[in-house]
Amino acid sequence: MFQEDKLVDILENGQEIVIFFMIEQIGAFCFYMNHDMADGRIPEHQHAAIDADIASAQSQQVRLVKSLDRFGASLVDDQGKPSEEYWKWYRKWKNYTTSLSNDEFERLDKAISNGDDLSDWKPVEG
């Protein structure tokens, strides 16, 4: 899904909103690939390769979730599964990002592309 060197950089240095978007992107990829395989849109002879891609993507997603510890939250339980705290974090970021206007989202996208500091792009604590 993501090149290892880019993933490692994000794991070590990524800003929280970028990690949220990467987790979202991987989740969407896995959902749509599974959905398209189940509906027969992807030929059966390609399923093993797609399953391998999904497993790799999910592994990256787990690494991204675990990296959130550096933002002050323990979001993975003892079995490596997302905790209730993770889902609370996820819903907070999902609500925030979906509440952005088109203009705000365009400015955020440009800031991400430019490598700008994104620390002001976050949900209000409350």
CB burial readout 42-60, b (16+ within 10 A) else e = beeeeeeebeeebeebeeb
The 8-class DSSP code of residue 76 comes to B
The domain locations on the chain are 4-114
For residue range 93-107, list pLDDT tens digits in order.
999 999 999 999 999
Residue 126 banded pLDDT, cuts 50, 70, 90: low
- Is this structure's pTM higher than 0.75? yes
More confident call, 53 vs 69: 53
Quote the mean pLDDT of the chain.
Answer: 90
12/125: higher pLDDT: 12
Place of tokens 């993770």: 86
